[in-house]
Amino acid sequence: MEHIKRALFSEQGMKTVNALFLLSLLFRNSGLILIAYTVWIAYLLYGIRTTSSGAVKAVYTAFSLFAAVMIVINAVFLVKGL
């Protein structure tokens, strides 16, 4: 678990998140988009905890809320499509 945590929050972390979003475009209706948004939320929450800037915290919080809404919407469409 610690290895995954270090990898996600290193310089390669956002590249991993971007790769997951790209894969979710290639493999539609596979649930990969839910994983991509979940990993993005984890990345953003770590950013919120580690930054001292109020503006960055506000933007990351807004993005986290957006990602959470998108998870719910995509989960509903994924279940309806089954």
Domain boundaries, the chain: 2-81
Instruction: Please indicate, yes or no, whether the overall pTM of this predicted structure exceeds 0.85.
Output: no
> Residues near 44 by Cβ (< 8 Å), separated by ≥ 6?
60, 61, 63, 64, 67
Q: Are 32 and 23 in contact (CB under 8 A)?
A: yes
State how far the Cα of 9 lies from the Cα of 76, in Å rounded to an integer.
29
- What does each of the 82 residues of the chain score in pLDDT, given as a tens digit? 677 667 767 777 778 888 888 888 888 877 888 988 998 898 888 888 888 889 999 999 999 999 999 999 999 988 887 6
Structure tokens at 22: 């790209």
The three-state secondary structure class of 9 is coil
Q: How many CB atoms lie within 10 A of CB 15?
A: 10
